[in-house]
Amino acid sequence: MRRRIVVAPDSFKGSLSSGEVAQAMARGVGSVLPQADLVLLPLSDGGDGLVASLIEASGGERLQVDVTGPLGHPVQATMGLMGGAQTAVIEMAQASGLTLIPESERNPLVTTTFGTGELIRKALDLGCKHLIIGIGGSGTNDGGMGMAQALGFRFYDAEGASLGSGGGELARLDRIDATGMDPRLHQVKIEVACDVNNPLTGPEGASQIYGPQKGATPETAAFLDHALRNYDRVLQRDLNQSVADVPGAGAAGGLGAALMALLKGNLIPGIELVLDVLGFDEKVQGAHLVLTGEGRFDAQSAYGKVPMGVARRARKQRVPVVVIAGSVLPGAKALHAEGVSAYFSILNEPLTLQQAMILGAPLVEEQTAQVIRLFEAGR
């Protein structure tokens, strides 16, 4: 019987893209079952790799766009047009991400999402009617103000002066004027791939939880939380929008809140959005096995990560799922209850992290081959 195997991994961060992992797995399968019917679906949970995943699967194209980076300097960002050119795929990290900021210059008081707004404007210029926006990997804490400024919204202080850039400015916010909003925003559907559930403010909010990794001291994080509380107050008063407590409002330094309140975007768990767009449920029908994976597989994988999204969907159709990961940490055992049949690490001898990352592709290929041999022996 010809085996139908779905290959649907995430990236191994810092080592392999999801597409490269999928190709390595495919080679491993092919070395044992050369006649297997393979379905390759490189995935993303909404962060790094979202553009590549959706563009590759849809036969779309990548575009390079010059935008304003998080520190106000020009950067070149990649966005995608899915096949048919009606849907744009945007990763906010391409324009406003933490990796664009040298560690010594990380300061969420001043970093801006303006470039993300420029990517959205570019999609509107191209005539797109559907925007998929991934908001992982941000280097900002400006509540999405910069994005909104790029799209025509105006933010003023009590003296009537326009606010500048950065989360620190929101402490002075007194009025939001939406009359200059790009009218084309009324004609698009916006779906936001979000993999966190944090509210906008408070001890679990954007500033307190994620501010430190973006360069905030405890004092700065407290000030930024105060600034976002003021932002929420003005959103409620001027635009009758109350989203601060909606799960995901605090994602990407409050960009989640702006996408909901200002652009009427719909926040969706990133992996669920990607699986729906790629038609995963249809593609897994009749499959004998699903292979998935990520760089580190542990208890945190249950919270919106690719392997868990894949396992939960495949379990509904009683298709076994095997996870092949860079490393497997304590807590992974509990994930059998979520639909993971088995999991394996690619490490077959003592290696440093650097060595494992360099050898990622052949290690994935070899471990996949062994998994398929075991699967066939069991059948």
255 and 143 belong to one structural domain: yes
SS3 content of the chain, % helix, strand, coil (to 5): 45, 20, 40
Domain boundary among the residues 247, 271, 295 is at 271
* SS3 (DSSP) at 346: coil
**pLDDT tens track for 11-66:** 888 788 888 999 999 999 999 999 999 999 999 887 778 898 888 878 889 999 99
Tell how many helices (H) and how many strands (E) occur in the chain: 13, 15
Tell me how many domains the chain contains.
2
Residue 58 has a pLDDT of 80
Cα–Cα distances in angstroms (integers) from residue 313 to residues 140, 259, 274, 320, in the given order: 33, 27, 12, 11
Q: How many residues does the chain have?
A: 379
257 and 292 belong to one structural domain: no
Band (331; pLDDT cuts 50, 70, 90): confident
Band (314; pLDDT cuts 50, 70, 90): very high
263 and 313 belong to one structural domain: no
Distance, CA of 71 to CA of 60 (rounded, Å): 30
In the predicted model, is pLDDT for residue 302 greater than 80?
no
* SS3 (DSSP) at 285: coil
261 and 360 belong to one structural domain: no
Domain CATH for 11: 3.40.50.10350
pTM: 0.86
265 and 308 belong to one structural domain: no
In the predicted model, is pLDDT for residue 332 greater than 90?
no
258 and 145 belong to one structural domain: yes
> Which residue do the tokens 């009218």 mark?
183
Domain extent for 325: 4-43+285-378
